[in-house]
Amino acid sequence: MADHGGDIGLEAFRSDVAAWLGANFPPALKGKAALASAEISYADPHLAAWRKAIGAKGWATPTWPAQYGGGGLSPLEARTLAQEMARIGAFNPLMFGMGVTMIGPTILDYGTEAQKARHIPPIVRGDVQWCVGYSEPNAGSDLASLQMRCEDAGDHYVINGQKTWTSGAQYSDWCGALVRTDFAAKKHDGISFMLIDMRQDAIDPRPIALIAGASPFCETFFTDARAEKDGLLGELNGGWTVGKRLLQHERASQTGASSGGRAAPLQDIAKRYVGVDDQGRLADSDLRTRLTQHLMDAKVHGLTLARIVAESKGASGATNTASILKNSATHVAQTRAELSLEIFGCQGLGWDGDDFTRDEIETVRGWLGGKAMSIYGGSFEIQNNIISKRILGLPETTAST
């Protein structure tokens, strides 16, 4: 987008953003970002209208190229947009979608012009749902051991095997998957990244139940599934590089950068449930200390995120610093969940029923579901390894394979 001519131009842009949000964001959705993370559904007419409006504007992907339907905004303009959305309790309805957070950025990195023209506009508009096929029953943290077979059948590829933890596979139109295309090569060298149409009988996604209730996870079976030749993203047998890049984008998306429509401040919730002393302070001094530490950690995380974004200037995209932010975001989110249950007291035991509010029930289920943050997108320990080796330059201490 054109230069706005300094602070005056940016403030004019801010005014335009505020006016557009006022005309297009449904007030009924204020502070309800959780709707966007639910199972894909257009049953809520307000959410459907908001998805359509922001998708058409390109502001669900504000810095993506305008030629593919993105917002074409500068990083500073995108930050201004995020600030204005947060100010009114608005949120990005596509912020949890894998098309926006993972697949789309990776196609922009490695895709041909034809692949970008075909896949990016529907992602920007929110017209398609994507899932990611990485983990397998015998290839979790050691992802390079994956065995899902992809064979060249002349005018297309044939895929056989199984993926697990494929979030949203039962709703998805497309899957970005790592497959093995050369079984004779070293395990990192025989992998390719394939874009696969999920709308075929040869693919069978089966939901996996979780303790937290509704689950996004599936085990997904491919039996002579078809992928077109133009579904190969990047080089044949070069998928490991593409796959690592996608994981960087995933970790960057989990850092809290897109947390529009935030919940009420935890200190306000604590005062309401625990009470205050005669000086207006939280009555429980030990809880007050731990809550203060949590708020400091959350502030430090936000400042670190802002610094890294500013230093990158949007030029290089996700980097190894995403591992720092991913672990920091995990710590902040899980600590908030633990403190919330403690603050609720007996009301933090609710699973359903009229004795508990909706927020109390959702907090309990969120606490359970949030335990997975330490695992998905690369486990906490794997991120620490990346930080130690690629950022701090510490020596390799594990045996090579």
23/368: higher pLDDT: 23
Backbone angles phi, psi at 26, to 5 degrees: -70, 120
The most confident of 31-40, 120-129, 347-356, by mean pLDDT: 120-129
Lookup: tokens for 396: 């390799």
Residue range 34-48, pLDDT digits in tens: 656 554 445 688 988
Lookup: tokens for 311: 């230093």
Per-residue pLDDT, averaged over 317-341, amounts to: 83
- For the chain, domains (ranges, CATH) are 6-96 (no CATH), 129-239 (2.40.110.10), 263-391 (1.20.140.10)
Lookup: tokens for 138: 């015998």
Backbone angles phi, psi at 25, to 5 degrees: -85, 120
Lookup: tokens for 113: 């012009």
What is the pLDDT confidence band of residue 97, given thresholds at 50, 70 and 90?
Answer: confident
Residue range 174-208, pLDDT digits in tens: 999 999 999 999 989 999 999 999 999 999 999 99
Give the contacts of 70 (CB within 8 A, at least 6 positions apart).
58, 61, 62, 63, 64, 120, 124
Backbone angles phi, psi at 16, to 5 degrees: -65, -40
Let me know: does 218 contact 170? Beta carbons within 8 Å: yes
Task: Please tell me the predicted confidence (pLDDT) of residue 318.
Answer: 54
- Whose tokens are 């390079």? That residue is 144
Distance CA 175, CA 190 (A): 19
Prediction pTM value: 0.76
Distance CA 340, CA 270 (A): 8
Residue range 265-274, pLDDT digits in tens: 889 889 989 8
Per-residue pLDDT, averaged over 155-164, amounts to: 97
- Whose tokens are 């430090």? That residue is 300
Give the contacts of 131 (CB within 8 A, at least 6 positions apart).
98, 166, 167, 168, 169, 172, 174, 175, 176, 198, 218, 220
- CB neighbours of residue 1 within 10 Å: 13
Report how many helices (DSSP H) and strands (DSSP E) the chain contains, helices first: 13, 8
389/113: higher pLDDT: 113
- CB neighbours of residue 113 within 10 Å: 7
Number of residues written out for the chain: 401
pLDDT at 133 over 90: yes
3 state DSSP class of 340: helix
Task: Please tell me the predicted confidence (pLDDT) of residue 322.
Answer: 73
